[in-house]
Amino acid sequence: MSARNRDRRVYWASHPFLFAGLAVIRHRAVCRIRSRVIVNQPEAMRHVLTELPLDRVSDRTTGGVIRKNDVVGALFDESGDDHRASRRAVAETLDASGVAALRHVWMPVLDDAVARLRAGELIDLCGVADEMAGRTTAALLGLDLSTGQSIDLARAARATAASAAASEVPSLRRRRYRDHIGEAFGDRIDARGTMLAMAAVTTTHATLPRAVAWVADDDLWGAAGDDAQRPVLVAELLRVLAPTPLLPRAVAERAEVAGCPVTPADQILLMTRHAVGAHRRDPSVTCPAPMALSQLVFGVGRHACPGAALARAQLADVLAALAPLRPRVRTARADRHSALPAWRSLVVST
């Protein structure tokens, strides 16, 4: 199976009608469908994120959804000085030195997975991703958790994010929001910690197994094992996988996006996947996309994701650890209920 054909399954499994409908209009820079404005062009996406005043608490945004479910003060629903202070605090924790200090948290998980692969065992990379994400999130939140509790945190974060998405995204599986993190950990994790856990865990779970599957299917292990080529491959994989393929936003006042008028009553859907060419341009270490384009998967300007360095570091470590073994995909099951397109199980072996 080709890498692209396999990876396409995570989209068809999670929200088949939504992504099929959006794919039909992806050739248009901006398209209005009633009160929704879909943005597919990179320049238009940059314009929205860097030049338009955005309403962070609108019900049509991530922050509004969070606030509607009684989770207040969670970074995405903040604005002004509060938002800048929160972002600065997270960014300082996840800068280059902060990420380097966290490597000792996830490397034992990778070392164990490699040892088991060398012994001829089958490894479910979704389980590896959960443990890595759970341990990392616990460290970021200052929680002293056992391995089992870290995995429980990751699973609770994924379940909470999935219920939040299911309560908002049009789907036959629509259901009410449920705070699995609060049920499992109570007041040990506050609103900001809940949001950080959901963001860190869901993106890690969506990225790492999909990236390994793509590298295995396209036989990119040579580049993965090369210290010079690996950073380029990491950037390209993150561009093509676009872990968060769609970003909902709303403007605070009347504006215009690529000639299309928008109002505060509209929902703007930034199609990151289309903007970075993930649907048509495979990862390449010899002819990579410009970094300015690849960076869009993490946003841009003051709305850039502060966890970008962490995502790159973890993926680079996973590829470096697995490259000498060149694992192959044995079985793959897409997750039909995840907040982001992801595998539910991805089993590999040498």
CA–CA distance, 243 with 340 (Å, rounded to integer): 7
pLDDT (0 to 100) of residue 334 = 96
pLDDT (0 to 100) of residue 18 = 80
Specify the higher pLDDT residue, 292 or 166: 292
pLDDT (0 to 100) of residue 173 = 55
Stretch 125-140: mean pLDDT: 97
Q: H helices within the chain, ranges in order? A: 3-14, 16-24, 42-51, 62-68, 80-93, 96-118, 125-141, 147-166, 180-185, 191-217, 221-224, 230-241, 272-275, 291-294, 308-322
DSSP 225: T
Give the dihedral sign, CA 276/277/279/284: negative
pLDDT (0 to 100) of residue 234 = 98
pLDDT (0 to 100) of residue 177 = 79
Supply the DSSP string of 142-208, one letter for each residue: T----HHHHHHHHHHHHHHHHHHHHTTS--TT------HHHHHHGGGS-HHHHHHHHHHHHHHHHHH
CA–CA distance, 64 with 198 (Å, rounded to integer): 15
Stretch 306-317: mean pLDDT: 95
Count, residues in the chain: 350
pLDDT (0 to 100) of residue 301 = 81
pLDDT digit string, tens, across residues 4-53: 999 999 998 877 888 888 889 999 999 999 999 999 999 999 999 999 99
Specify the higher pLDDT residue, 162 or 331: 331
pLDDT (0 to 100) of residue 170 = 52
pLDDT digit string, tens, across residues 73-118: 555 545 555 555 556 667 677 888 889 999 999 999 999 999 999 9
pLDDT at 70 over 60: no
pLDDT digit string, tens, across residues 171-211: 545 567 788 999 999 999 988 888 889 999 999 999 999 99
pLDDT (0 to 100) of residue 297 = 95
pLDDT (0 to 100) of residue 302 = 77
pLDDT digit string, tens, across residues 220-273: 999 999 999 999 999 999 999 999 998 999 999 999 999 999 999 999 999 999
pLDDT (0 to 100) of residue 96 = 85
pLDDT (0 to 100) of residue 116 = 98
Domain boundaries, the chain: 3-349
pLDDT (0 to 100) of residue 324 = 98
pLDDT band per the 50, 70, 90 thresholds, residue 71:
low
Cβ-based neighbour number of residue 342 at 10 Å? 28
Structure tokens at 16: 């088949």
Q: Of the candidates 308, 314, 348, which has an alpha carbon nearest to the alpha carbon of residue 328?
A: 348
pLDDT (0 to 100) of residue 16 = 82
3-state secondary structure of 268: strand
CA–CA distance, 154 with 205 (Å, rounded to integer): 9
pLDDT (0 to 100) of residue 165 = 79
pLDDT band per the 50, 70, 90 thresholds, residue 281:
very high
Amino acid at 166: A
pLDDT at 67 over 80: no
CA–CA distance, 282 with 215 (Å, rounded to integer): 11
Per the CATH hierarchy, to which homologous superfamily does domain 3-349 belong? Cytochrome P450 (1.10.630.10)
pLDDT (0 to 100) of residue 17 = 81
